[in-house]
Amino acid sequence: MDATSDPMIRLSGVGKTYDDGTVAVHELDLEVPRGEVMCLVGPSGCGKSTTLKMINRLIEPTTGRILLDGRDVTDVDPVTLRRGIGYVIQQIGLFPHHTVATNVATVLSLLGTPRAKARERATELLDLVGLDPDLYADRYPAQLSGGQRQRVGVARALAADPPVLLMDEPFGAVDPVVRGRLQEEFRRLQQELHKTVVLVTHDIDEAVTMGDQVAVFATGGRLAQVGTPLEVVARPADDFVADFVGSTTSLRRLRVTPVAAEHLEPLDDVRTGDLAATVDLGVTLEQALTVLLGHDEQVVGVRQGSGFAGVLTPNGIHRALRASLADAS
């Protein structure tokens, strides 16, 4: 097998049992492909955060092996291991008496990067996460909003250019509007950076929006299902997953069903230059519907490469959703 096709992270028979007999994670087998986002989702106490922390050895597993890029994490000094993994948590954990730039450069400083170079890298990253360095680099965390602090946390995690990011409820501490913006910004970053990401969330909507793969954990630390967002939503493995996905499954299909060529109508008399509402082939039905509703248009133009594949109408969205539902029945 080509090395590039090997998973970046592999958990084999991984378990965590505490001294009082509590089983936090039960014989977990899970692979995280390189450059993809794996969302761990489930109710409180199901072991998803414990799993995340075992990857960077904040918690030591009781059984099994965890391989990071083919190497057993227990063969690596824990401090060295963690400096090579980006880590983002809900509480962010910024140093209150350090400036934003200094916070972003924390890991670089620990690695011995010269101050000027660390500052330059911090400036690049602030710009990357949508914070103007001229405005924010010399501010302190208390002078930022919750969403801005979370962006700084992401920038700090990216500072040493780690191949892996671990994210524990990274957007949970902000209001829904800001949360949506942060999710969108992170998806943009991921398209550019192609990091291997393990993201913990309790929110199935966030999981299917953010993940290339979704791992649903049940109580007792059991892995109930792993698959693409569409697979999990359309074909739940058991009653637990079906209940967890919830009663709004049909609407949630909008988030996981991509716009395909068979959903489109020909351009006909519509001139591409006249289309104010446009999306790319492969975006979700929800994204296409949002663009359609945001313009005074009857159709959405669908781009494919440098040209147009056709137009998506409200009837086309309805047909695509119905076809998605039929495929799962």
pLDDT per residue as tens digits for the range 210-239: 999 999 999 889 999 999 988 888 888 999
Decide if 245 contacts 232 (C-beta within 8 A): yes
What pLDDT shows up at residue 246? 76
Residue 204 token pair: 């199935």
| pLDDT at site 3 | 46
Spatial contact of 301 and 277, defined as CB atoms under 8 Å apart: yes
Q: Looking at 62-130, which runs of residues are DSSP E strands? A: 63-68, 71-72, 85-89
What are 15-45's pLDDT values in tens digits? 999 999 999 999 999 999 999 999 999 998 8
Contacts of 268-276 with C-beta under 8 Å, sequence gap 24+, read 270/299, 270/301, 270/311, 272/301, 272/308, 275/299, 275/300, 275/301, 275/308, 275/311
Residue 151 and residue 92: Cα distance in Å, rounded? 9
Please name each of the domains of the chain with its CATH number.
3-254 (3.40.50.300), 257-328 (3.90.1280.20)
Which residue ranges of the chain lie beneath pLDDT 50?
Answer: 1-3
* Element containing residue 252 per DSSP (H, E): helix 249-256
Length in residues, the chain: 329
- Residue 249: the pLDDT is 59
Q: How far is CA 155 from the centre of its chain?
A: 15
172-182 in b/e form (b: 16+ CB < 10 A) is bbbeeebbeeb
Among residues 34, 62, 83, 88, the alpha carbon closest in space to that of 221 is found at: 62
